């Protein structure tokens, strides 16, 4: 459906002059509750997989992460209700399948595709190991430390602050909107996946979060890759600080247990939560303990 046809059928065209761009887009797109605007035409989409970020006007589209192929197709269909132009920019925060498997749905319709150089290498490596490289759309453009472009009236900057969740985590800042997509650098009140096979570092992850808070500040709105039950995938620098505390407490806890002579199996059997970080609960604590043990005890 063309934009004008959609607006007419929605009964919105007559009132268009009375709505701001963000209000208009919200009226058109968000009835199903999966697309959420934040401000200045930047928002996020949730369905299955890592949170998708977007910048959307009638003339421009920027997408951050793609979930899985089916979800990516659903998302593209929503975008097409307002914009039928080629997609200006696709960004991947890192290589994990729940953030990049949907890339393939953007083949032939995206003008530029960007990720950190290590994220691209990791995506290709894992795809070769799984034998499904033909099902992937790899980023054609990579960066090492920073990268920036302008789309419409929005400036988009990418940063790499070092190994954390993986060795290729990009942070995306929509500068005008002051919205920061953190990818899986923040698991909001959910036990994180710490990918040691792709160069993760818990110790440096703490430093990355501190640097992000210093760089983007308390006024920014942050989008997170994942969140625990009943917790949002958007938040503030206070949520970054809380996750930073979780990671520090995790390292301290595992270090203390190792000094007492505990084994990893004993640690996993007796641990139900990390002392000092009670909001992180539910399933998955074992993977945090295993990653911290590898880092502290085995130096990996």
Instruction: Give the model's pLDDT for residue 13.
Output: 33
Instruction: Give the model's pLDDT for residue 20.
Output: 45
CA gap 216, 247 in Å, rounded: 20
- Contact yes or no for 144/116 (Cβ under 8 A): yes
Instruction: Give the model's pLDDT for residue 90.
Output: 98
Domain ranges for the chain, please list them. 32-245
Residue-wise pLDDT tens digits, 32-51: 448 999 999 999 999 999 99
Q: Fold for 32-245, please state it.
A: Metallo-beta-lactamase; Chain A (3.60.15)
Q: What is the pTM of this model?
A: 0.89
Ranges of the chain whose pLDDT falls below 70: 1-33
Residue-wise pLDDT tens digits, 220-279: 999 999 999 999 999 999 999 999 999 999 999 999 999 999 999 999 999 999 999 999
């Amino acid at each position: 459906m063309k934009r004008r046809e959609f607006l007419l059928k929605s009964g919105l065209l007559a009132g268009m002059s009375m709505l701001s761009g963000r209000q208009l887009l919200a009226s058109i797109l968000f009835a199903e509750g999966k697309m959420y605007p934040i401000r200045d035409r930047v928002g996020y989409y949730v369905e299955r997989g890592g949170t998708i970020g977007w910048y959307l006007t009638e003339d421009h589209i920027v997408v951050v992460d793609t979930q899985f192929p089916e979800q990516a197709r659903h998302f593209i269909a929503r975008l097409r209700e307002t914009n039928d132009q080629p997609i200006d920019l696709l960004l991947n925060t890192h290589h994990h399948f729940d953030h990049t498997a949907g890339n393939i749905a953007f083949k032939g319709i995206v003008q530029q595709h960007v990720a950190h150089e290590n994220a691209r290498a990791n995506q290709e490596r894992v795809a070769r190991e799984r034998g499904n490289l033909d099902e992937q759309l790899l980023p054609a453009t990579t960066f090492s430390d920073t990268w920036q472009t302008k789309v419409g009236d929005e400036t988009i900057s990418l940063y790499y602050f070092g190994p954390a969740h993986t060795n290729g985590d990009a942070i995306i800042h929509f500068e005008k909107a002051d919205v920061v997509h953190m990818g899986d650098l923040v698991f909001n009140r959910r036990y994180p996946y710490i990918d040691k096979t792709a160069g993760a570092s818990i110790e440096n992850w703490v430093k990355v979060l501190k640097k992000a808070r210093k760089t983007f500040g308390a006024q920014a709105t942050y989008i997170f890759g994942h969140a625990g039950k009943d917790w949002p995938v958007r938040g503030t620098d206070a949520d970054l600080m809380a996750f930073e505390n979780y990671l520090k407490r995790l390292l301290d806890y595992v270090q203390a247990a190792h000094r007492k002579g505990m084994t990893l199996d004993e640690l996993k059997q007796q641990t139900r939560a990390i002392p000092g970080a009670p909001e992180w609960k539910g399933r998955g604590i074992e993977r945090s303990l295993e990653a911290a043990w590898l880092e502290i005890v085995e130096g990996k």
